[in-house]
Amino acid sequence: MLRISTFSTAIATASNQPGLRHWLAALLLAFITMSGLSYINFLPALVSALAGEIGFSEVQAGQIVALNGYGALCGSSLAIFLVRNIRYRPVLMTALLLLASMDIATLWLDDFLLLLGWRFLAGLAGGLALGLGVALLARHPYPDRAFGALLFVQFSVGSLVIYLLPTLEAMLSAHAVFYVMASFAVLSLVFVCLLPTGRLLAVPAQAPGASLGSDRRSAVITVLLLLAAMLVYQIAASAIWAYAALIGTAAGIANETVSTTIAVTGMLGLLGALLPMMLGNRYGRLPWLIAGCVLSISAAVLLTFSGQGPYYTLALALLFFSWPAVQSFLLAATAVLDSTGRLATIAAVVSSIGLATGPLLASALITEGNFSQMLQVGASLFVVSLLLLYKPILWSGQHAKEA
């Protein structure tokens, strides 16, 4: 049996190129972090299940998902104050155990208001696990690659679950998606046991990204713009992602074809995540971020023509390719600006706000199966994100480079 007792060294030190220990550390932490908010990876399947056989309306499904996301926001906010002073193993295990229990218990809840509160609490536990996981990933010596691993795991899991879920629903019930979510939390409990013991203490003060005090005002502006860009991008992407399946069916595409299309095009997210994993910050982050935002804008525009199958497929392919790359590079930019991991945890909170707000915004913009207004707003938000990230990425690149 593989014993991973040397991962503390892998997280604390770096060589010129990442070794096997660095990759193993990144992948384990990526899966644990993913499981805290695993439903995001197959959000269309969750929304479709809630708005289908489980019996809620499309708007109610969006609200349930949004409350889960706001619970995650509170949990990640709590992690901000814990990352420097706690022993992460017992906290992570407690959060994941609560999350698994609440996901299973959801099967017996059919009252809308009760389910709203219950999923908020489940999100609270998952958000805490997410925040701690992000802090650990931020302290990885290769943050671009570590966050690329996170997005790689997310899109791998998302595509696989969306592809298998119809079969699982036939075998179990419409609640199969909650069985899957609980299973990920349980598996993450095992992975936590393989991680090193200790506290999430700050790394040495002279680590990359730790010396920004010489221009405090520019640093603050950089951080705020960077977080704003991340927030706006996540709102737009999650709004479209939440209703991706319903956009296809509303356009007259068969349910089975929609599920297959989402699963297959979602695999392109793996390629998008591989960019930061393989390249790191070797060629800079800005060109990839600009390209990713442009592709995302194109995806939102193309989805307005989703009645034609090729446009629907191409749009999802563009979105799924660009989303993980954009998020990985933005998270890595926050990691190099603060070596303690606290800023990355704040970024996780901001990301949770965006992920929760996107479905809620989308539910307010759709009218009787018409998604045009929502898609137009999504395209506009991608443009805003591109404008917001340009200067902070340039500034951070001048002050902090990958080790």
Which class is domain 26-399? mainly alpha
* pLDDT, tens digit (0-9, with 9 covering 90-100), for 328-341: 888 878 777 776 66
Predicted confidence band at 273 (pLDDT cuts at 50, 70, 90)? confident
By percentage, how much of the chain surpasses pLDDT 90?
A: 19
The span from the CA of 243 to the CA of 29, in Å, is 29
Residue 285 pLDDT exceeds 90: no
Q: Are 333 and 392 a contacting pair, CB within 8 Å?
A: yes
Predicted confidence band at 101 (pLDDT cuts at 50, 70, 90)? very high
Q: Are 194 and 4 a contacting pair, CB within 8 Å?
A: yes
Residue 169: CB partners within 8 Å, gap ≥ 6?
49, 53, 176, 177
- According to DSSP, residue 202 is labeled P
Place of tokens 């999350």: 99
Which range has the top average pLDDT, 16-20, 138-142, 382-386? 382-386
Residue 382 pLDDT exceeds 90: yes
* pLDDT, tens digit (0-9, with 9 covering 90-100), for 105-129: 988 887 888 988 999 999 999 999 9
pLDDT at 260: 81
- 388: tokens are 């917001």
pTM of the model: 0.72
